[in-house]
């Protein structure tokens, strides 16, 4: 076996890059099923709650080119085990606006879309109840919140400590509903061969989708479903779980007996594939005159839907970020007539860190202490709620390094005193944090000798590349673990026929899949050494391996990545327009596998946080109950012109506890805290504290 230099850590071009830039890498709708594709279009409810009283598909059915119209009356029955919004067309009840009430299948997309308008539907509807408020009498505490966290945490006497504190902050922050809006719209292309279902699908974990299809169609097992997703055009959480589109595509394909495709429209993505719940968060901080926190309280109110309980873990970063003897975090939910919420990039941490890190900035001002210094003074020596040591924690170093790179030293604490022409200028800082987890993953590596050249290693694992760079990073990891060159490794991901892996989510991808590859590669090398004298046998060798789940140290060490953002914010004194001409973000996230793609992940996360700070809000009409700005012209995300110079750096961090590779995951940390940094900079520029995102020009005139 040849040995080569380590490639983990290098900045290597994406191996899928050449095909992606030309547009030849096949995404869900771009595979060739080998037969003409029929097109699916959706009829959606225009009310939030009620019942269908009349549904007439006859005009649509009569249109030339229409193959079928599925309604609750004739759609295939799905098993009763399906939850949330997956039992599509199984009843006449309507639980949210945008719910699928009929499905058209036609020869062409033009006919399918036109036929939608010819299906007439009437409802007996209740007025929509969509307004989140802290004084709703129906707020309730869920059993648990997401990711297995406790709903509340209460340590010490928070109210007593707040009452006794020399300095306090008590502020309420609001984040709006947001939509993931990956640029590839959710798409499912389905085909049945007998009782075998093949689906080319846009998702962030093929195995996640299989189970719901097996359950829904009462199949014998996962072997009857194959989900193929080698390339996915962004996801950010909305493609993590099964949504109605996969169910509809499978049903429609079964009914018409050929391949169908359902490509959701952008507008439909506002109701059918989830959103980030809006939050109302009250944060109270108590500190002594030196800024040492005596109490932290973070109370969250957020929404969920009638058909699922989605309890976002919004206050959980507050459980780890700062030391304080008295602490409280709570989560309360309102069940509203809204589509089911889902995960969106760093669910919980993203809205939660906006509130906590804004409050820390307010406290720094109250105290007259530099906000970087305030954070350093409250650095905990151990996990402040679990009372276990950190696996590694470098927040202070991130703050110091970032301050240095950004040129923070000597910053004037006073808000609203710097101008440059008509620009009001300020700077802001916030911390970032995200948990480091590992999940179960299986892997298979086969090696075969080639007659002439070197051995080829086929590495198989159902990981996903939703833009994270997994194609490249996993190939690097495999090459190092096998001690061969990247060119000798053939990676296969994005197919439920491959060995099990959880989806790309929770920043667990490389930690889980990479660890599985490392352990399987070690076993393969051991067998080659022990059984074949280090030579690849003529028939080759195949080894199955993997990781069983969380790190064995997960109970005795608290595992998180950390970071710090520094931004310059400029606000037009006449118009309230906001620009962020420069930013520095420094991260400590353990091993960085690919310096090039990792930088892009950090950049992408930070920019999505900036977009959240300044632009993103899905506005729900309280009379009609729909998302009134349901497209990309009205739901604004940052454009190229909104992004300035961004300096990204990371620290060397060696963490022997998290996983085999010492990496903590990088997909989500970049967004956490970013919005707070921008809002804090806005305040420093203008003296105006905008506590409800996004900070659009209108709010300047309050």
Partner 1 sequence: MREFRYAAATDPAAAVALLAGEPSGAFLGGGTNLVDLMKLGVATPDVLVDVRTLTSREVTDAADGGLRIGAGVPNADLAADRRVRERYPVLAQALLAAASGQLRNRATTAGNLLQRTRCGYFTDVTRPCNKRSPGSGCGALRGLHRNHAVLGQTLDGPGTCVATQPSDMAVAMVALDAVVQVLGPDGARSIPIGELHRLPGDDASRDTTLRHGELVTAVDLPPMDMPSRYRKVRDRASFAFALVSVAAALRVEDGVVADVRLALGGVAHKPWRAAVAEGALRGRPATEESFAAAADAELAAATPLPGNGYKVPLARNVVVRTLLELTGGLA
Partner 2 sequence: MDTEITLRVDGAAHPLTVDTRTTLLDALRERLRNTSPKKGCDHGQCGACTVLLDGRRVNSCLVLAVTVGDAEVTTSDGLAAGGQPHPLHRSFVERDAFQCGYCTPGQVCSAAGVIEEARAGWPSAVTADLTAADAELTDAEIRERMSGNLCRCAAYANIVPAVADVAQASGVRR
Per CB under 8 A, which of residues 196..235 are in contact with partner 2?
Answer: 231-235
- Please name the residues in contact with 506: beta carbons below 8 A apart, sequence gap of 6 or more: 147, 435, 437, 439, 665, 668
Candidate ranges 25-33, 245-253, 307-315, 440-448; the one touching partner 2 (CB under 8 A)? 25-33
Among the listed residues 531, 538, 522, the one whose alpha carbon sits nearest the alpha carbon of residue 661: 522
Residue 596, binding choice from partner 2, ligand FES, partner 1, none, Cβ under 5 to 8 Å by partner class:
partner 2
Q: What does 544 interact with, of partner 2, partner 1, ligand FES, none (CB < 5 to 8 A by kind)? A: none
Contact of residue 26 among ligand FES, partner 1, partner 2, none (CB under 5-8 Å per partner type): partner 2
Select the residue interacting with partner 2 from 230, 371, 509, 604 (CB under 8 A): 604
Q: Closest approach of Cβ 592 to partner 1, in Å?
A: 31
Assigned token pair, 228 = 């193929």
Count of other CB atoms within 10 angstroms of residue 410: 5
Told to check if 467 binds ligand FES by CB under 6 A, we report yes
Cα 77 from Cα 243, distance rounded (Å): 17
Interface positions, 645-664, toward partner 2 (CB under 8 A): 645-646
Minimum distance from CB of 267 to partner 2 (Å)? 9
User: Of ligand FES, partner 2, partner 1, none, which one does residue 469 interact with (CB within 5 to 8 Å by kind)?
Assistant: partner 2
Task: Decide whether 426 or 609 has the Cβ nearer to partner 2.
Answer: 609
Give Dmax over CA atoms of the chain in angstroms. Answer: 79
Q: What x-and-dash track marks residues 22-51 binding partner 1 by CB under 8 A?
A: ------------------------x-----
Binding residue for partner 2 (CB under 8 A) from 7, 8, 14, 480? 14
Q: Which is nearer to partner 2, 381 or 640 (CB)?
A: 640
The one catalytic residue among 184, 309, 385, 668: 668
Give me the least distance between CB of 180 and partner 2, in Å please: 8
Does residue 469 bind ligand FES (CB under 6 A)?
A: no
* Residue 95 burial (10 A CB sphere; 0-12, 13-18, 19+): buried
Tell me the DSSP string of 181-203.
Answer: --SSPPEEEEEEETTEEEEEE--
Q: How far apart are CA 393 and CA 88, in angstroms?
A: 46
Q: What is the number of residues in the chain?
A: 702
Considering the complex, what minimum distance in angstroms separates the CB of residue 54 from partner 1?
16
Instruction: Give the sign of the dihedral formed by CA 389, CA 390, CA 393, CA 395.
Output: negative
Residue identified by tokens 């069983």 is: 548
Q: Is 568 a catalytic residue?
A: no
According to CB under 8 A, which one of 194, 421, 451, 453 is a site residue for partner 1? 421
Q: What is the DSSP letter of 155?
A: E
Q: In the set 183, 218, 413, 595, which binds ligand FES (CB under 6 A)?
A: 183
CA angle (105, 109, 113) in 5-degree steps: 75
Query: How far is residue 199's CA from residue 212's CA, in Å, rounded to a whole number?
Result: 13
Q: Which residues contact 380 (CB under 8 A, 6 or more apart)?
A: 320, 322, 323
Which window, 15-23, 94-102, 250-258, 552-560, contacts partner 2 (CB under 8 A)? 15-23
The residue within the footprint of ligand FES, chosen from 65, 234, 389, 416 (CB under 6 A), is 234
Q: Is the dihedral of CA 561, 566, 572, 573 positive or negative?
A: positive
Q: Is 123 helix (H, G, I), strand (E, B) or coil?
A: strand
Q: Residue 439: helix, strand or coil by DSSP?
A: coil
321 near 313, Cβ under 8 Å?
A: no
Q: Does residue 452 belong to the site contacting partner 1 (CB under 8 A)?
A: no
Which of 292, 636 has the CB closer to partner 1? Answer: 636
CA–CA dist 116, 113 (Å, integer): 5
Axis-axis angle for helices 674-686, 349-367 (nearest 10): 30
The site partner of 698 among ligand FES, partner 1, partner 2, none (C-beta below 5 to 8 Å per kind) is partner 1
Minimum CB distance to partner 1 smaller for 172 or for 696: 696
Say if strands 293-305 and 326-336 run parallel, antiparallel, or are unpaired.
parallel
What is the full DSSP assignment across 62-85? TSTTEEEEE-TTTSPPPPTT--TT
C-beta closer to ligand FES: residue 3 or 640: 640
The DSSP annotation for 535-584 comes to SPPTT-EEEEEEE-SS-TTTTTSEEEEEEEEEEEEEEETTT--EEEEEEE
Given 1, 4, 10, 17, the residue binding partner 2 (CB under 8 A)? 17
Short-list 672, 649, 670, 642, CA closest to 570 = 642
| Residue 21 binding ligand FES, by CB under 6 A | no
Sole binder of partner 2 in the list 205, 467, 563, 673 (CB under 8 A): 467
Q: Is 156 in the site for partner 2 (CB under 8 A)?
A: no
Q: What is the DSSP string of 211-251?
A: HHHHHHTT-S-GGGEEEE-S-----TTTTSS--HHHHHHHH
* Peptide bond preceding 694 in cis form (omega within 30 of 0): yes
Stretch that binds partner 2, among 359-367, 375-383, 625-633, 683-691 (CB under 8 A): 625-633
Count of residues binding ligand FES (CB under 6 A)? 3
User: CB of residue 22 vs partner 2: minimum separation in angstroms?
Assistant: 5
| Residue 369 or 580 with smaller CB distance to partner 1 | 580
Q: Give how far Cα 246 sits from Cα of 277, 390, 538, Å.
A: 23, 41, 43
Give the orientation angle of helix 244-256 with respect to helix 206-216, to 10 degrees: 60
Q: How far is the CB of 77 from ligand FES (least distance, A)?
A: 36
Q: How far is the CB of 610 from ligand FES (least distance, A)?
A: 16
CB atoms within 10 A of CB 73: 11
As a dihedral over the C-alpha atoms of residue 231, residue 237, residue 240, residue 242, rounded to 10 degrees, the angle is -110
If binding is defined by CB under 8 A, does position 263 make contact with partner 2? yes
Contacts of 641 by beta carbon, 8 Å cutoff, 6+ apart? none
**383 touches, from ligand FES, partner 2, partner 1, none (C-beta below 5 to 8 Å by class):** none
Residues 100-139 that bind partner 2 (CB under 8 A): 108-111, 114
**Span 606-625, contacts to partner 1 by CB under 8 A:** 614-615, 619, 621-624
Among 322, 434, 682, 700, binds partner 1 (CB under 8 A): 700
Q: How far is CA 203 from the centre of its chain?
A: 12
> Binder to partner 1 among 189, 547, 589, 638 (CB under 8 A)?
638
Using CB distances below 5 to 8 A depending on partner kind, what does residue 614 bind out of partner 1, partner 2, ligand FES, none?
A: partner 1
Question: 138 vs 645, which CB is nearer to partner 2?
Answer: 645
What are the backbone dihedrals phi and psi of residue 520, each rounded to the nearest 5 degrees, phi first? -70, -40
- Which of 267, 542 has the CB closer to partner 1? 267
Q: Residue 561's closest CA among 630, 489, 469, 663? A: 663
From the list 11-19, 75-83, 121-129, 205-213, the region that binds partner 2 by CB under 8 A is 11-19
Q: Are strands 38-44 and 260-263 parallel, antiparallel or unpaired?
A: parallel
Q: Which residues bind ligand FES (CB under 6 A)?
A: 183, 234, 467
Q: Which residues bind partner 1 (CB under 8 A)?
A: 46, 110, 113-114, 117, 421-422, 574-577, 579, 614-615, 619, 621-624, 626, 628-630, 633-634, 636, 638-642, 696-702
Q: Which residues bind partner 2 (CB under 8 A)?
A: 13-14, 16-18, 20-27, 29-30, 32, 37, 108-111, 114, 181-185, 231-236, 263, 265-266, 466-469, 596-597, 599-601, 603-604, 606-608, 611, 631-633, 637-641, 643, 645-646
Catalytic residues: 668
């Amino acid at each position: 076996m040849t040995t080569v230099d380590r490639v983990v850590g290098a900045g290597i071009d994406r191996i899928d890059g050449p095909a992606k830039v030309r547009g030849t890498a096949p995404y869900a709708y771009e595979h060739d099923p080998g037969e003409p594709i029929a097109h699916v279009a959706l009829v959606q409810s225009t009310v939030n709650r009620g019942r269908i009283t009349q549904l007439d598909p006859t005009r649509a059915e009569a249109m030339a080119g229409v193959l079928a119209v599925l309604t609750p009356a004739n759609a295939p029955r799905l098993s009763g085990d399906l939850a949330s919004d997956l039992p599509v067309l199984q009843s006449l009840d309507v639980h949210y606006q945008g719910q699928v009430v009929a499905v058209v299948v036609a020869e062409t997309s033009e006919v399918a879309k036109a036929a939608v308008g010819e299906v007439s539907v009437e409802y007996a509807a209740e007025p929509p109840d969509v307004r989140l408020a802290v004084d709703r009498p129906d707020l309730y505490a869920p059993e648990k919140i997401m990711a297995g966290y406790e709903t509340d945490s209460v340590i010490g006497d928070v109210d007593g400590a707040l009452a006794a504190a020399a300095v306090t902050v008590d502020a309420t922050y609001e984040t709006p509903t947001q939509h993931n809006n990956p640029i590839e719209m959710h798409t499912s292309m389905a085909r049945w061969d007998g009782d075998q279902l093949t689906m080319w699908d846009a998702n962030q974990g093929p195995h996640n989708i299989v189970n719901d299809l097996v359950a829904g169609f009462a199949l014998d097992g996962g072997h009857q479903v194959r989900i193929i997703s080698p390339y996915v055009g962004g996801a950010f959480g909305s493609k993590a779980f099964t949504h109605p589109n996969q169910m509809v595509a499978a049903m429609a394909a079964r009914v018409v007996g050929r391949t169908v495709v359902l490509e959701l429209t952008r507008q439909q993505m506002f109701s059918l594939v989830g959103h980030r719940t809006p939050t109302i968060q009250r944060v109270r901080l108590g500190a002594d005159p030196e800024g040492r926190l005596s109490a932290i309280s973070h109370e969250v109110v957020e929404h969920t839907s009638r058909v699922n309980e989605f309890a976002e873990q919004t206050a959980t970063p507050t459980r780890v970020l700062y030391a304080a003897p008295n602490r409280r975090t709570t989560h309360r939910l309102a069940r509203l007539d809204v589509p089911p919420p889902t995960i969106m990039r760093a669910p919980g941490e993203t809205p939660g860190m906006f509130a906590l890190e804004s409050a820390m900035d307010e406290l720094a001002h109250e105290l007259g202490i530099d906000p970087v210094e305030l954070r350093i003074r409250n650095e905990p020596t151990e996990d402040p709620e679990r009372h276990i040591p950190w696996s590694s924690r470098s927040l202070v170093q991130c703050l110091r390094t970032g301050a240095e790179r950004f040129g923070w030293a000597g910053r004037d604490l006073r808000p609203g005193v710097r101008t440059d022409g008509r620009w009001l200028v300020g700077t802001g800082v916030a911390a970032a944090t995200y948990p480091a987890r590992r999940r179960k993953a299986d892997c298979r590596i086969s090696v075969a000798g080639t007659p002439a050249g070197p051995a080829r290693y086929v590495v198989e694992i159902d990981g996903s590349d939703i833009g994270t760079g997994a194609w490249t990073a996993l190939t690097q990891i495999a090459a190092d673990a096998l001690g061969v060159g990247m060119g000798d490794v053939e990676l296969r991901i994005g197919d439920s026929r491959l060995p099990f892996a959880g989806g790309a989510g929770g920043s667990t991808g490389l930690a889980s899949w990479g660890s599985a590859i490392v352990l399987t590669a070690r076993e393969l090398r051991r067998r080659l050494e022990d059984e074949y004298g280090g030579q690849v046998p003529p028939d080759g060798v195949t080894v199955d391996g993997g990781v069983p789940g969380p790190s064995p140290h997960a109970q005795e060490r608290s595992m998180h990545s950390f970071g710090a953002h520094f931004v310059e914010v400029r606000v037009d004194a006449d118009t309230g327009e906001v620009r962020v001409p420069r930013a520095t973000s420094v991260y400590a996230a353990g091993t960085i596998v690919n310096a090039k793609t990792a930088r892009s992940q950090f950049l992408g996360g930070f920019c999505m946080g900036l977009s959240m700070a300044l632009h993103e809000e899905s506005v729900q009409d309280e009379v009609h109950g729909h998302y009134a700005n349901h497209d990309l012209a009205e739901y604004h995300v940052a454009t190229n012109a909104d992004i300035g110079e961004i300096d990204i750096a990371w620290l060397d961090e060696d963490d022997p506890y998290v996983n085999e590779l010492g990496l903590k995951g990088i997909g989500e940390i970049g967004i956490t805290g970013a919005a707070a940094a921008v809002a804090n900079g806005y305040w420093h520029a203008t003296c105006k504290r905008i506590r409800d995102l996004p900070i659009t020009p209108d709010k300047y005139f309050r």
